[in-house]
Every structure is written in C-alpha cells, then in structure tokens.
Chain A
Amino acid sequence: MRQVWKRLRAGEEISYLITLAAATTIILIVVALVYELWSASTLPIQKFGFSFLKGMNWDPNAGDFGALPFIYGTCITSFLALLIAVPTGIGASIFLAELAPPKLSNAMTFLIELLAAVPSVIYGLLGIFVLIPILRSYVVPVLTGIFGFLPIFRGTFYGVSVFSAGIVLSIMVVPFIISVSREVLMAVPTDQREAALALGATKWESTWDIVIPNARTGIIGSIFLALARALGETMAVTMVIGNTPQIAASLLAPGYSIAAVIANEFTEATGDLYLSSLIFLGLVLFGLTIVINALARILILTTQQKGAA
C-alpha cells in the first residue's frame, strides 16, 4: 500500500495514465453515441430503407414514417437563415476588420458574441411574442403586396411559419459568421491592402477585390459553421415553425424540422417503430451536421495557414 502511495505521489505514469484515460473516455463517448444512434434505428432502416428519406407521409397511427417534410423544413429554414445572415454578417465583419478603429471593433465584437450566448429558448420566446406580431402586422403585408405574384409569398400568414423560423435562425447564426469572418479578414496581410491602395483603388475596391478573395475560403468556412448551427437548432425553431409535417410552396405556411419533430414527439412516441424512426431522424441530422462541420473546419484551417505563411 505504501509502495502504491509513493508511486502515486511521484506518479509520473499515473498522471499520464489518468489524463490518457480521460482522453480515451471522450473517444468512447462518441463511439457509443454513434453506435446507440445506429443500433436504435435499425427498425426503420430495415422496414423502409432509403425510402424513409423520401417518404412524404408521417402518420404514427398507421405506422407510416417518411422524413422528407422534416428534411425539407430543416433545409429551407437554414437556407433562409443564411440568405439573411450571410450578407449581413460579411458586411459587419468587413466593417469590424477594415474600417472600425480597434477599440470600437473589439467592443462591437464583444457585444455581437454575447448575442451567441443568448439561450435558444429565449430566442423562441421572443420569436413567439415579438417577432411574429411584427411580421404579421408590418413585414408580411408589405412582402405579399410586392411579391404576392410569387408562389413563395402566397397564402394566409398565421404567424408560425417557415419564414418566421428562418428569420429567428438568421439572428442566431449571424454572430458565428461575424466573429470567424472578422478574424479571417484580419489575418490577411496588410501589404495586400496597401498595394491595392497604392495602385489607386478605393478603400472598397481594395477590400472587395483584394482582401475578400484572399479570405474567401475562411469566410465560406464561417458560413458552413453557421449552417451546421442552423441545421441542429431545436428550441427556437420548434417554437415558431408551426409543427406541421408538410411541404408547402409558400414560405408563409407552417412546416416542421427534424430537430423540432424529435423535441415534440420523442416522449410521446408509442411503439418501437415510432421511437426508432425519431432516432433515425436524429441520426440523419447527426450525419448532416458532422459533414458540414468538418467542411467548415477544413476551410477555416486552410485560410489560417495561408495567412500565416
């Protein structure tokens, strides 16, 4: 016993082994996670196979499960979110990296990163009680007035909709685009800007034609990062999307997303097939976000290395 205590105190190997064990635990957790998701979704995989992903019907009572409305809902809301968040985010990151004095830029970035710290359920709360009334009384009437001839802006607006979910998501992901893009822009060497200005370019031309192309892959990486966030976001979307499994042409119609259907129906799922269909949806979402996250990381890494070189 004394021997053990002595070795423990001197314990070079022991401290190594303990930290190694912790690192291994993380790998085991992730392996277990993938295994659990996979093994729990064998039932729908065997029963429906790939047609699960293109099935239009979600009818738990009839035992018929198709994922397409949810996949569509997840993709369209994320797409809408990016449509708004990407221009705003890139614009703001240009201002913060190229124009604003360092002190102002840091203060603004600090505030914008706080936006990322706001819990998603709070975004949902504000979505229901603030954003939807604003959309209903001001934004949507104008949109339908101007673009009413387009099928995407037709139909009655009840408030909860794909459109509302997209807007909430855009606010939630914009901080990620800004903070990563700003850093990538700041990593572009100053000589590039100076060279462009010396050749007679305006500030905007030097930024748009020289700095942005230099930082392009990193900016795209930040967009992918934001996309992964948007795809996996649960609460805020669940609260404003309307939770109706359908694929409507109009953005003003309610929809449903993968994360939302899991959140809503998991505890109520009766029967093994129902529950494992929901878990299979979780697996699909997991796969989707993993691929996009990996792409984002590779893109950001390449730019940073190029900037450092």
Chain B
Amino acid sequence: MSAPERLNPTISQHRRVVNGVMLSLTGLCTLLTVSVLFFILGYIVYHGIGSLSWAFFTKLPKPTGEAGGGMANAIIGSGKILLLATLIGVPIGFLAGVYLSEYSGRTFAFIVRYVTDLLNGVPSIVIGIFAYAMVVKPMRHFSTLAGGVALGIMMIPIAVRTTEEFLRAVPVALREGAMALGANKAVAIFTVVVPAAIQGLTSGMMLNLARVAGETAPLLFTSLGNMYWSQGWLQPTSALPVMIYQYAISPYEDYHQQAWAAGFVLLSLVLTINVTARLVITRSGLTARR
C-alpha cells in the first residue's frame, strides 16, 4: 500500500479491502494469460519432441494404417508457398509503403491507408475464396501458385504498415542531407532513407512472414493438399499447417503423433522468427510496432 493511503485515516477498511482484492485480481489475470502461453509451449514441446524423428523431415506420408512416414513434402510445400507469398506480398507492400511515407498527397493516401486496413481485417478464409476465384477457377486446378497468391495478399497490409512506419522514423535531416548533396528524391529514398531503415524493415517483413506461415484456412482450397511430392508450381501441394489440420481430425493415433510433431516444428519456426525479429526491433530502439 502506498504512502498517502497509510497516512489518510479516512480510508475505510472496506475501501482498503476492495483496493487490495481488485489489484490482486488484475495480477491474477496477467498471470493466467502468461501461464497459458507457457502451458501451450510446454505441451507442444513435450508431445512434439517425443513424436519427432529423422523420418519426419525426410520421408513422404505413409498411407493410413501404416506406421512411420514423414512430412518432407509438406515442409517443402510450405517453403514454396511462403517463397511465392513473399515475392508477391513484400514488393507490393514495400513500394506502397514507400509511396505513403515519401510521396503521398492527402486524399489518395487516405484512401490507400483505409483500403489497406480493410484488407488487413478480411478473414483469412475469405482471402482463400478470393484466391480460389482468381487463380484456381480460371486455371481449373488447385496449385502451389494459388496458395502463394492467397498468402501473398495476406502479407500486403502488414508490409505496407511496417514500411511506412519505419521510413517515417528515419529523421528528415537524412533526406535533406542527401538532397543537399545533389541527389534527387528517388535517389535519396532508395540510397539513403531505405538503407537507414533496413534493419527494421527486414525484421518487420520476417514478422509478417511468420504470421502467414501458420495460416491454414486460405490454403484449404487453393493449394489443397497432396500426399506425394508436388511437381512444379501448378500442382496441388501439401503444406505443414494443412497437414496438422488433416491429421488432427483423423481418427488414427499414428496421425495424431505426426500432427504433434508437425505442430512442434511449425510453432518453433514461427516463434523463433517472432522472438528474433522483435528483439532486433526493441534492441535497435526502433519505434514502429508490428
């Protein structure tokens, strides 16, 4: 209890008790939330490591009923989808972010920001429908490409926001200095401002990638799934999150074990990227968030 309260004799017993109880409750709420995280981590690590084996990384899934097998194709599939997503989402988002931070007028920038926020709020399953309508339907089959497009679109809003915030955090003096040396605006932006913000930009993009790496819903009817290796970019492919879903709802104990292993791999990947990127952002004292 703090000093003024002790000195003040008019604070009744009742108010003191309420104060103590309510403040302890808020601490309890925090503890509860944080312990859920530790519980999740502990449980996944415990179950995941137990089910993990070398075969998980190197073998194809076995047909139902047969023991063993792995998810090598899903790991590669996820990698391919994420590569495509990055190639689509990051350039568009980055350039639009540069536009908003460096060139924008008022009205158009307002519209772009508003629409970007809107896109950020679209449920992932709806993005899946969109990618289905744009890629799968015209091409008449499910493909890695469609999955990449879906996740790429999901990456755009955060890429825009990150770029805009980190570029804005670069001091104006740097821009003025570059221009005073005879650089035009474009040169100043791409040789001085962007390099100055590069650490934050890469961390932001990594966070962005980690966010979509765990997305399942938009892949269900774009990249679909595949029990074998997927050839090229126009065939359906399996992906780690989709495999977790399919194996978890299956009735086979063997598949459940595989799902735990996959969950462990996915979660370690996502959280490692997340923690590293966040630490880089806080360490370097960059102001932008997420």
**Min CB gap B203→A, angstroms:** 14
Q: Among residues 3 to 21 in chain B, which have CB atoms less than 8 Å away from a CB atom of chain A? A: 4-5, 8, 10-11, 15-16, 18-19
Contact yes or no, B130 A33, CB < 8 A = yes
Contact yes or no, B184 A128, CB < 8 A = no
Contact yes or no, B40 A20, CB < 8 A = no
| Interchain Cβ contacts under 8 Å between A and B, 13 examples | A15-B186, A22-B92, A36-B130, A91-B28, A115-B37, A117-B270, A120-B217, A128-B248, A175-B33, A235-B217, A239-B245, A262-B129, A290-B121
CA gap between A234 and B123 in the complex, in Å: 8
With an 8 A cutoff between CB atoms, is A124 at the interface?
yes
**Most interface-central of B126, B184, B244 (chain A CB within 10 A):** B126
CA gap between A16 and B30 in the complex, in Å: 47
Knowing A27-B111, A178-B33, A267-B221, say if A204 contacts B129 (CB, 8 Å).
no
Size category of the binding interface on chain B = 35 or more
With an 8 A cutoff between CB atoms, is B166 at the interface?
no
- Contact of A263 (CB < 8 Å), options: B119, B125, B263: B125
**Most interface-central of B30, B224, B263 (chain A CB within 10 A):** B30
Contact yes or no, B123 A289, CB < 8 A = yes
With an 8 A cutoff between CB atoms, is A249 at the interface?
no
Contact yes or no, B214 A119, CB < 8 A = yes
Neighbouring A residues of B116 by C-beta, 8 Å = 26
Knowing A126-B43, A232-B125, A285-B125, say if A26 contacts B119 (CB, 8 Å).
yes
Closest to B278 in A: A110
Q: Which residues on A are within 8 Å of B, measured CB to CB?
A: 10-12, 14-16, 18-23, 25-27, 29-30, 32-33, 36-37, 40, 87-92, 94-96, 98-100, 108, 110-115, 117-122, 124-126, 128-130, 171, 174-175, 178, 197-198, 200, 202-205, 208, 228, 231-235, 238-239, 259, 262-263, 266-267, 278-279, 282, 285-286, 289-290, 293-294, 297
Closest to A91 in B: B29
Contact yes or no, B95 A37, CB < 8 A = no
With an 8 A cutoff between CB atoms, is B153 at the interface?
yes
Contact yes or no, B115 A171, CB < 8 A = no
Contact yes or no, A125 B22, CB < 8 A = no
**Min CB gap B122→A, angstroms:** 6
With an 8 A cutoff between CB atoms, is B96 at the interface?
yes
Neighbouring A residues of B213 by C-beta, 8 Å = 119
- Contact of A118 (CB < 8 Å), options: B18, B94, B102, B270: B270
- Contact of B11 (CB < 8 Å), options: A108, A200, A266, A293: A200
- Contact of A202 (CB < 8 Å), options: B16, B96, B122, B270: B16
Q: Among residues 203 to 259 in chain B, which have CB atoms less than 8 Å away from a CB atom of chain A? A: 210-211, 213-217, 220-221, 224, 241, 244-245, 248-249, 256, 259
With an 8 A cutoff between CB atoms, is B169 at the interface?
no
Contact yes or no, B33 A99, CB < 8 A = no
**Min CB gap A126→B, angstroms:** 6
Interface flags for B62-94 (1: CB within 8 Å of A; 0: not) read 000000000000000000000000000001111
With an 8 A cutoff between CB atoms, is B156 at the interface?
yes
Interface majority SS (helix, strand, loop, mixed), chain B? helix
With an 8 A cutoff between CB atoms, is B267 at the interface?
yes
CA gap between A118 and B93 in the complex, in Å: 23
Contact yes or no, B220 A27, CB < 8 A = no
**Min CB gap A164→B, angstroms:** 14
CA gap between A51 and B98 in the complex, in Å: 46
Contact yes or no, B245 A124, CB < 8 A = yes
- Contact of A232 (CB < 8 Å), options: B119, B124, B278: B124
- Contact of B99 (CB < 8 Å), options: A22, A119, A290: A22
With an 8 A cutoff between CB atoms, is B286 at the interface?
no
CA gap between A16 and B98 in the complex, in Å: 9
Neighbouring A residues of B245 by C-beta, 8 Å = 121, 124, 235, 238-239
CA gap between A89 and B122 in the complex, in Å: 23
CA gap between A19 and B99 in the complex, in Å: 5
Closest to B186 in A: A15
With an 8 A cutoff between CB atoms, is B185 at the interface?
yes
CA gap between A96 and B30 in the complex, in Å: 8
CA gap between A228 and B122 in the complex, in Å: 9
Contact yes or no, B4 A112, CB < 8 A = no
With an 8 A cutoff between CB atoms, is B172 at the interface?
no
Closest to B160 in A: A26
Contact yes or no, A204 B29, CB < 8 A = no
The 8 lowest CB-CB distance pairs between A and B, nearest first, are A119-B214, A232-B123, A91-B29, A22-B95, A15-B186, A19-B99, A293-B121, A95-B26
Neighbouring B residues of A259 by C-beta, 8 Å = 123, 125, 217
Knowing A205-B15, A239-B245, A239-B248, say if A23 contacts B125 (CB, 8 Å).
no
With an 8 A cutoff between CB atoms, is B49 at the interface?
no
Neighbouring A residues of B56 by C-beta, 8 Å = none
Contact yes or no, A266 B214, CB < 8 A = no
With an 8 A cutoff between CB atoms, is B189 at the interface?
yes
With an 8 A cutoff between CB atoms, is B134 at the interface?
yes
Closest to B10 in A: A200
Closest to A267 in B: B221
